[in-house]
Amino acid sequence: MCNTDVFTFLESGKAMSCKVVVAIDGPAGSGKSTIARLLAQKLGLLYIDTGAMYRAATLKALRAGVDPTDGRALAEMLEHTRIELGETNGKQWVRLDGDDVTLTIRSPEVGSLVSVVSGHPEVRSQMTQEQRRLAQSGGVVLDGRDIGTHVLPGADVKFYFTADLEVRVDRRLKENHEKGFQTDRESVKREMIERDRLDSARKCAPLRVADDAIVIDTSHLTISEVLSLVEGYVRRRTG
């Protein structure tokens, strides 16, 4: 089984007394990862970046020469894979078999294949098991594509972020350039459209809005505005 550990160091005095579980789902570029991380920091919760887990698995497949369309081979690969997520001095990091891959997993090459890899039931089964284990004690924020519908359907508060395609493309293009990946707008747009299609059409835990999710269109909102909305909902729901 994929051996996934999370190491997070929270500042003293920030932890909430309740063990709230927050799920944030949505397509790429909707802002879910940014808000999930900031919300966790503000409320003293553990942030679990499930997308980074799938990206790390995709990178491992690329490095090991494992066919990303072969679900069984990927599952076998994960049996001998260690993925670690954590935070040091407010900075998120990801390690793959002891190697820091925080930046590498955000490469366009990984991004173009992550929906293929994550679409296999064998892969999602292993990842879901680990994500549930990490969240079982509560006090967590998880973001992804199927958190509120499949991974943690009993989450205390569920959000679904959405945004106009052109806005999401601009955000991803800016993110890539800030990380040193020189990608053009049209290629980013094509990749995002394809990821939306694959994530929504897969048979195993597709991307969709949970019946009890709070839907937020982030297209024309600032990060601070979205964070304020989300924090307000969480505090009201948890008292």
pLDDT digits (tens, 9 = 90+) for 54-112: 999 999 999 999 999 999 999 999 999 999 988 888 788 999 999 999 999 999 999 99
Is residue 235 one of the residues assigned to a domain? no
Q: Which two tokens stand for residue 165?
A: 């395609």
Q: Please report whether residue 234 resides in a domain.
A: no
Does residue 110 fall inside a structural domain?
A: yes
d(CA 213, CA 145): 13
Contacts of 66 (CB under 8 A, 6+ apart): 60, 73, 74, 77
CATH number at residue 207: 3.40.50.300
* Residue 233: inside a domain: no
- Asked if the structure places residue 96 within a domain, the reply is yes
The answer to whether residue 201 is domain-embedded is yes
Look up residue 164 and give its two tokens: 């106009």
For the chain, what is the domain count? 1
Burial group, residue 79, by CB count within 10 angstroms (0-12, 13-18, 19+):
exposed
**Domain around 86:** 3-224
- Residues 123, 120: Cα–Cα separation, whole Å: 5
What integer pLDDT is reported at residue 57 of this predicted model? 97
The Cα 159–Cα 152 span in angstroms is 12
In a domain, 114, yes or no: yes
Indicate the average pLDDT of the chain.
Answer: 90
Within a domain: 31:
yes
Share of the chain above pLDDT 90, in %: 83
